C-alpha cells in the first residue's frame, strides 16, 4: 500500500505541476492561437491526472483537502473543455449526456459541501467556511450550466465565455493546492488557515469578471 501511495502521489505532483505551469502561461499570453491550444492540452491532461490521483489518495488516506480539489478540478476542466463543443447553444444545439452527467454530479457534491461545511461551522470549526464557499461557487456554476443547456443564456458566445471561466477556475484549484501544501504553517494561526484556501479564488474571480465583461457578446449586440 505504501509503494502504491507514493507512486500515485508522484503522478499527482507531476500532473499538478504541469497544470500549474501550463495554466500560468495560458493565463498571461495570447488566447486562441495554436500555441494556446497546445499548452491548453498540457493543462487539461495535467489537471485531470492530478485530480484523479487526488481522489485515489483521498480514499487511501482520508483527506478532505485532496477530495475537494479533485472533485472541483474534474468538474471545471471537464465542463471547460466540453463547452468548446457546444458553440451552438441557444441556436438549437442540445448538450450531450456527458454534459448533464458532469453538471448533475457537481450539483450533488455542491449540496454535500455546503451541508458538511455548515455542520463543521456548528461544531466550531472555521474550516467549514471552505466547504461552504466551494459549495456555493460550484452551485452557481451548475445553475449557469442548466441555464445554458436550456438555451436561455443572453450571451451569444456563451461557449467561449464559459470555457474561459472554467479553465481559470481549474487554474484556481491548482494554485490553491500549491499554496495549501507549501505555505508556511506558522504564519497564520490554525483557525485562520482557511484564508489560504480562499485567497486564490478571491483574486482570480476578479480576473474572471473582468475577462467576462471584455469578451462576452450579448445577443442583442450581435
Higher pLDDT, 12 or 197: 12
SS3 assignment, position 122: helix
Q: Is residue 220 part of a domain?
A: no
Examine the pLDDT at 221 and tell me if it is beyond 60. Answer: no
Domain count along the chain: 1
The model's pLDDT over 107-150, given as tens digits with 9 standing for 90+, comes to 999 999 999 999 999 998 887 888 898 899 899 999 999 999 99
Please state whether the predicted TM-score (pTM) of the whole model is above 0.85. Answer: no
Q: Is residue 13 part of a domain?
A: yes
Which three cell numbers mark 2?
505504501
Of 46-55, 83-92, 176-185, highest mean pLDDT:
46-55
In which residue are the cell numbers 451548475 written? 142
Q: Please, which pLDDT band fits residue 50 given cuts at 50, 70 and 90? A: very high
- Identify the domain containing residue 182 by its residue range: 2-215
CA 189 to chain centre: 27
Q: Is residue 145 part of a domain?
A: yes
The model's pLDDT over 64-111, given as tens digits with 9 standing for 90+, comes to 778 888 898 899 999 999 999 999 987 889 999 999 999 999 999 999
Residue 53 near residue 73, CB atoms below 8 Å = no
Q: Give residue 193's pLDDT.
A: 59
Higher pLDDT, 40 or 217: 40
- C-alpha 20/C-alpha 157 separation (Å) is 27
Q: Is residue 194 part of a domain?
A: yes
Q: Is residue 110 part of a domain?
A: yes
Amino acid at each position: 500500500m505504501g509503494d502504491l501511495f507514493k507512486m500515485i502521489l508522484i503522478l499527482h505532483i507531476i500532473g499538478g505541476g504541469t497544470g500549474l505551469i501550463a495554466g500560468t502561461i495560458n493565463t498571461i499570453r495570447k488566447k486562441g492561437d495554436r500555441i494556446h491550444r497546445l499548452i491548453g492540452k498540457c493543462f487539461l491532461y495535467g489537471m485531470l491526472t492530478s485530480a484523479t490521483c487526488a481522489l485515489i489518495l483521498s480514499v487511501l488516506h482520508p483527506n478532505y483537502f485532496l477530495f475537494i480539489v479533485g472533485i472541483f478540478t474534474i468538474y471545471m476542466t471537464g465542463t471547460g473543455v466540453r463547452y468548446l463543443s457546444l458553440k451552438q447553444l441557444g441556436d438549437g444545439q442540445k448538450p450531450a449526456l456527458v454534459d448533464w452527467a458532469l453538471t448533475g454530479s457537481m450539483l450533488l457534491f455542491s449540496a454535500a459541501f455546503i451541508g458538511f461545511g455548515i455542520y463543521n461551522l456548528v461544531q466550531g470549526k472555521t474550516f467549514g467556511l471552505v466547504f461552504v464557499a466551494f459549495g456555493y461557487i460550484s452551485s452557481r456554476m451548475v445553475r449557469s450550466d442548466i441555464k445554458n443547456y436550456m438555451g436561455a443564456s443572453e450571451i451569444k458566445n456563451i461557449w467561449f465565455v464559459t470555457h474561459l471561466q472554467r479553465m481559470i477556475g481549474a487554474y484556481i484549484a491548482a494554485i490553491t493546492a500549491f499554496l495549501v501544501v507549501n505555505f508556511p504553517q506558522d504564519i497564520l494561526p490554525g483557525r485562520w488557515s482557511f484564508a489560504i484556501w480562499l485567497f486564490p479564488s478571491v483574486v482570480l474571480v476578479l480576473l474572471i469578471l473582468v475577462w467576462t465583461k471584455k469578451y462576452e457578446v450579448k445577443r442583442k449586440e450581435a
